[in-house]
Amino acid sequence: MSHLEPLGSRLNVVVFGATGGIGRAFVEALQADPAVENVLACSRSVFHAVDEKVDVVSVSFGDEDSIIAAAQWRQDEPLDLVIVALGLLHSDQMRPEKSWRELDADNLFETFKVNTIGPALIAKHFLPRLRKDGPSVFATLSARVGSISDNQLGGWHGYRVSKAALNMLIKSFAMELARRNRMGVCIGLHPGTVDTPLSLPFQRGVAPDKLFTPARAAQQLLDVIAERTPEDSGDIFAWDGTRVPA
């Protein structure tokens, strides 16, 4: 079964964050998809590819030179789909802020580096590589908490603002892409709550049917990607295909 058949066949696909929970699930789904011919899996830590259609490259998302090097992959062929599966909510040294009193400059910088600056630099070098003679998509993971109008609780300041900034970049990139590539699409994706280390401390209270395995999340998002048209470019879409408000 192909999730990406609407995009065409013999697809060239790139996945950033390929060793993360959702990123690895994307790679596994894509290598099994008969419409996909080649996959470039990009991550800070290199892993062993188990399928001949998958190439692996080490990319540090704060190092633009490594992103430029990755963009040379199959440079004589257009790219049909680029997926950026990056996200930082917490770490051993950092927790989401419950109050402005907890804001820390170093933590804010690290959050922006992963959630906003990394995807922005990837877009800089990979949006120009999208196919122009047929459908193509640049999709990056965002989050519903990045919606300004949907913010009902406050808190999680660094994560919220870094994703809100990413959403604005998606909107701006989509406008520029439309002038350069009339068939290209640039969108954000809200995967819902996925059973990964990113969401693990915050899964209490999530209904079992709304806590997705990485495999299910990847499949749902690939279906959302495949349904997008240039009219959708610049918007953020949830796992069920609904638009996330700005």
* Domain assignments of the chain as residue spans, ordered by start: 5-244
pLDDT at 209: 79
pTM for the model stands at: 0.96
Side by side, the strands of the sheet bearing 54-58 are 54-58, 36-43, 11-16, 81-84, 136-141, 184-190, 236-238, 243-244
Is residue 8 scored above 80 in pLDDT?
yes
Is residue 213 scored above 90 in pLDDT?
yes
Is residue 198 scored above 90 in pLDDT?
no
Is residue 46 scored above 80 in pLDDT?
no
Strand pairing category for 36-43 and 54-58? parallel
- What pLDDT band is residue 184 in, cutting at 50, 70 and 90? very high
Q: Are 114 and 61 in contact (CB under 8 A)?
A: yes
- What pLDDT band is residue 181 in, cutting at 50, 70 and 90? very high
Mean per-residue pLDDT over the chain, rounded: 94
Is residue 1 scored above 80 in pLDDT?
no
pLDDT at 202: 79
Report the 10 Å Cβ neighbour count for 110: 18
Mean pLDDT computed over 208-221: 92
Q: Are 201 and 188 in contact (CB under 8 A)?
A: no
pLDDT at 19: 93
Domain 5-244 superfamily per CATH: NAD(P)-binding Rossmann-like Domain (3.40.50.720)
- What pLDDT band is residue 142 in, cutting at 50, 70 and 90? very high
